[in-house]
Amino acid sequence: MAFLSLPKVPVLRYYKLLSTYLAALRGPVLALCALVALNIGLQLVNPQVLRVLIDTGLSSPASGIAGLAVWFAGLALVQLLATIAADYAGEWIGWTAANRLRADLLEHCLRQDGSFFQAHPAGELIERIDGDVRGLSGFFAMLTVSLCGNIGLIAGVLAVLFYENSWMGSAMTLFVAAALLTFGRIREWTLPFWVRVGEAGADFYAYLGDQLSHTEDTRSSGAEAYTMDKFRRMLRQWFPRHMRAGFGFSLMWAASTVILGLGTVLVLALGTYLWTGHLITVGTLYMMLFYMGLLAGPLDQIRDLIGNLQRAEAHLERIGGLLAEVPVIRDPEPGEEAPLREGPLSVDFRGVTFGYGGESGSVLSDLTFSLQAGQSLGIVGRTGSGKTSVIRLLLRLYDPAEGAVLLGGTDIRRVRLEQLRERVGLVTQEVRILSGSVRDNVTFFAPHIPDERIVEVLDQLGLGGWYRALPSGLDTEIWAQGEGLSAGEAQLLALARIFLRNPSLVILDEASSRLDPSTEEKVQQATNRLLQGRTAIVIAHRLNTLRGVDRILVMDGGRIAEQGSRQALTEQPGSRYSRLLRQASGKETI
């Protein structure tokens, strides 16, 4: 058939996508195919009944008309019901499959390392996971089944026309081939435009997400005018790309209108010639015109479907590009895995050199230090000295370019990521509150933690009074902005998360640097409870938060400027840490 000459549609890629996400929906898909097949069969049978109805009415108007009319109306009603059922089934299958693809994309993104999120802003990822998948939702089931169904209907109509009259069948086959070939050529020409539309859309949403997440900075610096100017420039770049892609669809619509008009003229001319030569009856002539109308419908739908395929292919190309990105940080190969031992973990950095790539160079250079299990380490240094990079390496968000990071004597590259993240707990200054219940925020959706344990931890951290004042207890909803929570309460909630996980290594990243003295004292007491029996690393700008640590590490320019026990460094007047204490006097930040 002519459609087979239309490729440049990546058939194997489409097949892989369909087989992956429709395999689990085999029952509904088979039901949809049966409904489409029933619809095609009824559309082919109805004109036959109509031909008999017309010829019978012309030859003997009084006999058999009522029964045939009832048959025709009944078949039309069944066809209508089959169409409605197929539309509903197609929508359900499409959304179900699309939601599974969304979940897979999100899971794929969550497995990526830090460099992935540096390269892909949040707005771009949202457009990939939601926008591109939404554009593909029609492709699942309905687009594919409709395309196959319409091709099947065209094949059936041509087969019937060949059976009735070979001249009419041949003429209509040439007409259909010309139409499909034209649609395919236009599709091939316009596909790059749809790809560029998607790229512009992703850039736009990435910019929009970035601006909306930094509105305070934009307003405080008076950059609203610049922000809006760039917003308009991006829209102006997006609009002409959309216009070019839309022009291709309009061109396909105009071509189909001309072709269908020529086809109607061809059927009328050939049908009239055959009728005047007494080769066909009036009923047969009307049946051929009816079949011409049937051909017009599928061709119109195929035209629209090819337009949708263009967009689907552009979406598929971008989604495929996202799925093709393999995380640099992966679980160890089978046989190379080494579990972490139980209890507090020692920490060893051995000759670690690390950089984020690009022109930034190395942010850590030949970093070597050790922390015994159960001890606490305070890391100080000016902004850019490499403190945060140490945390990222410990959590294995990145791997060092040289050297090794060991926990409990085990290279963390040999530890499963799931186990590593379970055994290392991080409390940051910027606490992330989730939109959900208090229970969800404390447990991070872990279903196995009983409510009694949650309440016990909240009491231990001084949040018992706050919890008991909540209208619905642990089921009380709180929002992502943390409305109704003070900074101290949010910080204590973050500590409660770590308490419930019971990690072996706790990292406190400037965990109290923005709290008032009274609240900071509460947080400090809760922190002391948390650190008992665990290894701890504390990063702070305010030196008074390091009063309880065992060792101090002073960093400067990605290197160790000084390290030793806190007490010894404090008592050495010439030590860098001692000078920092005198400069700060417990008030300034470094």
Does an H or E element contain 227, and which? helix 224-276
The amino acid at residue 220 is: S
3-state secondary structure of 84: helix
- When pLDDT is cut at 50, 70 and 90, the band that residue 231 belongs to is confident
Cβ-contact 548, 538 below 8 angstroms: no
pLDDT of residue 372: 94
Distance CA(352)–CA(366), nearest Å, equals: 5
- Kindly state the average pLDDT of the residues 241-269: 75
Residue 8's pLDDT is 43
Question: Which overall architecture, per CATH, does domain 8-323 show?
Answer: Up-down Bundle (1.20)
Return the pLDDT at 144. 63
Least confident window among 15-19, 21-25, 268-272: 15-19
Name the fold adopted by 415-584. Answer: Rossmann fold (3.40.50)
Phi, psi of 72 (to 5 degrees): -60, -45
Which range has the worst mean pLDDT, 191-200, 423-432, 441-450, 463-472? 191-200
**pLDDT surpasses 50 at 3:** no
What pLDDT does 403 receive? Answer: 94
Q: Both tokens of residue 338? A: 């080494």
Two tokens, residue 70: 């009832």
Mention every residue, 6+ apart, whose C-beta is less than 8 A from residue 164: 280, 284, 287, 288
Contact 351, 522 (CB under 8 A): no
3-state secondary structure of 333: coil
Instruction: Pick from 151-165, 343-357, 481-495, 532-546 the range whose average pLDDT is largest.
Output: 343-357
Question: Which strands sit side by side in the sheet containing 551-556, from one edge to the other?
Answer: 424-428, 505-509, 535-539, 376-380, 551-556, 559-565
* Whole-number Å distance between alpha carbons of 225 and 214: 15
Q: Which of 89, 95, 91 is nearest to 133 (CA)?
A: 95
Is 28 in contact with 89 (CB distance < 8 Å)?
A: yes
pLDDT (mean) for 1-9: 35
* Helix pair 517-531, 487-501: axis angle to 10 deg: 0
CA-to-CA distance for 90 and 64, rounded, in angstroms? 39
**pLDDT for position 517:** 67
Strand ranges inside 292-335, DSSP E: none
Distance CA 124, CA 109 (A): 12
Query: Please, how many CA atoms are within 13 Å of residue 438, restricted to the half-sphere of its CB?
Result: 26
Write down the pLDDT at residue 1.
34
Tell me which residue has tokens 């059927």: 267
Considering only CA atoms, which of 2, 12, 4 is closest in space to residue 316?
A: 12
Average pLDDT, the chain: 79
Residue whose pair of structure tokens reads 């000016």 in the numeric block? 382
Query: Is the predicted pLDDT of residue 6 greater than 70, yes or no?
Result: no
Where in the chain are the domains?
A: 8-323, 415-584
pLDDT at 9 over 50: no
Q: At 405, is the pLDDT very low, low, confident or very high (cuts 50, 70, 90)?
A: very high
Is the predicted pLDDT of residue 489 greater than 80, yes or no?
A: no
Q: Is 330 left (phi over 0), alpha (psi -120 to 50) or beta?
A: beta
pLDDT over 80 (residue 344): yes
Amino acid at 363: V
pLDDT in tens, 169-223: 787 788 788 877 877 777 777 767 777 777 777 777 777 777 776 676 666 566 6
92 vs 240: which has the higher pLDDT? 92
* Residues 35-92: tens digit of each pLDDT: 888 888 888 777 777 777 776 666 665 555 667 677 778 888 888 898 888 888 888 8
The model's pLDDT over 277-319, given as tens digits with 9 standing for 90+, comes to 777 777 777 777 777 777 777 777 777 777 677 677 777 878 8
Sort strands 559-565 and 505-509 into parallel, antiparallel or unpaired: unpaired
pLDDT score for 4: 29
Distance between CA atoms of residues 586 and 380, nearest Å: 14
For residue 341, what is the DSSP state? Answer: P
| Alpha-carbon gap, residue 386 to 368, rounded angstroms | 13
Put residue 377 in one of left, alpha, beta given phi > 0 → left and psi -120 to 50 → alpha: beta
Q: Mean pLDDT across the stretch 135-143?
A: 69
- pLDDT per position as a tens digit, 515-539: 666 667 777 777 788 888 899 999 8
Nearest alpha-carbon partner for 507 in 389, 364, 381: 389
Hey, what's the torsion of the CAs at 446, 450, 452, 454, to 10 degrees? Answer: -10
Distant-in-sequence, close-in-space partners of 24: CB < 8 Å, separation ≥ 6: 100
* 196 phi/psi in degrees, rounded to 5: -70, -30
Within its chain, how far is the Cα of 378 from the centroid?
Answer: 38
Crossing angle of helices 166-212 and 282-323, rounded to 10°: 30
